[in-house]
Amino acid sequence: MASFLGAHGFDPGPTQRPLLTGAISGVAATVPAIAVLYAFGSLEVEAQILGISQPLTIAAGALLMACAGAGYSRLFGRAANYIPGGWLFGLAFGFALWAAGAVMILPLASHGQTPAGMAGIGVFASLLIWGATLGALVPWVRRPLHQDIDEGAKHRSVGPNAAASGVKPRGQP
Going from N- to C-terminal start, the domains of the chain cover 16-145
Average pLDDT, integer, range 89-106? 87
Range list of H helices, 51-172 = 54-76, 86-97, 106-109, 117-145, 149-152, 159-165
Q: What is the pLDDT of residue 62?
A: 93
Q: What's the alpha-carbon Rg for the chain, to the nearest Å?
A: 19
Q: How far apart are CA 15 and CA 106, in angstroms?
A: 36
Q: How far apart are CA 35 and CA 116, in angstroms?
A: 18
Q: What is the pLDDT of residue 165?
A: 62
Average pLDDT, integer, range 102-121? 82
Q: How far apart are CA 173 and CA 160, in angstroms?
A: 19
pTM of the predicted model as reported, rounded to 2 decimal places? 0.73
Q: How far apart are CA 126 and CA 148, in angstroms?
A: 36
How does pLDDT run across 129-166, given as a tens digit for each residue? 999 999 999 888 877 676 555 555 555 655 555 555 65
